[in-house]
Structure 1
Amino acid sequence: MPEFTPLLLLGVALAGGLGAAARYVTDTLLRERREWTAPAATFLINATGSFLLGLFTGLVTDGTWHALLGAGFCGGFTTFSTAMLDAVRLWREQRRGRAAVFLFGQFIVCAVFALAGALLFVTPPST
């Protein structure tokens, strides 16, 4: 864990802002150009962000970079609060089965993607 400093806090905030901007652009492009619905776009963004977080976890060994890329960029890019709102909206629209699949699928897929990203850079034990 890196030492908490005002400069690190500023870096995490800036990286989070870049992640949020990347999420906004990605979401906008998916919805406008590909005509994706809100839950599908949110799902793809969260899965991609989870994979990136896994990659950064497996690839980056420096704690400062973990903070900047993981908590900062990936924290700004992923949008689990929006996923929860999408699930509530589906539930209220009486599409409860879809809400449940979306909600639980989101957790499972994102966990698998994060693990897959991290495992790409794990060195196998030598025999």
Structure 2
Amino acid sequence: MLLELVFISALGSAVGAEARYFIARKALFKNIFDFSLATLFINIFGSFCLGIVISLHLTLFWQTFLGSGIVGGFTTFSTFILETVNLFQRKNKSYSIAYLVATLLISIAAFCLGRSI
């Protein structure tokens, strides 16, 4: 059972990572604010989707595939942290902190909204 869940999580992660890569490369998401709008969108939308997955009360198999797999592969905490640190080093510190706090609060709100659907 564990090996099956590892495999299905890896499969979902591949799908999520490719979706993230595709969205991050679209011209719609230019870096107009010294941080990636794509990363912001991906993390907020991913939080919303995870809220939906949790609210559906799916089997462990589907929770693993959709939640840990696709949504986990789609969202990008490491890129978010890298962008936050880069902002902190390049610009003023309050801009970096605002990006950090806004991303976290909006992502939490999106998760709650998704969970309530």
The percentage of aligned residue pairs carrying the same residue is 31
Instruction: State the Cα distance separating 1:35 from its structure 2 match.
Output: 4.8
Matched, 1:40 2:37: yes
Counterpart residue identity of residue 40, structure 1 = L
- Give the alignment's TM-score, normalised by structure 1: 0.84
Specify the SS of the correspondent of 1:36: coil
State the aligned residue count.
114
Runs (5+) with no aligned partner, structure 1: 121-127
Matched, 1:59 2:56: yes
Structure 1 segments of 4+ aligned residues over 4 angstroms from their partners: none
Between the aligned partners of 1:41 and 1:56, the Cα distance in structure 2 is: 22
Instruction: Kindly provide the CA deviation profile for residues 2-29 of structure 1, in whole angstroms up to 9, marking residues without a partner as x.
Output: xx42122111001001100000001101
Greater Rg over alpha carbons, structure? 1
The partner residue of 1:6 within 3, 17, 29 is: 3
The partner residue of 1:81 within 78, 83, 107 is: 78
Runs (5+) with no aligned partner, structure 2: none
- Give the alignment's TM-score, normalised by structure 2: 0.91
Counterpart residue identity of residue 89, structure 1 = N
Please tell me whether the aligned partners of residues 29 and 36 of structure 2 are also in contact (alpha carbons under 8 angstroms).
no
Between the aligned partners of 2:36 and 2:101, the Cα distance in structure 1 is: 13
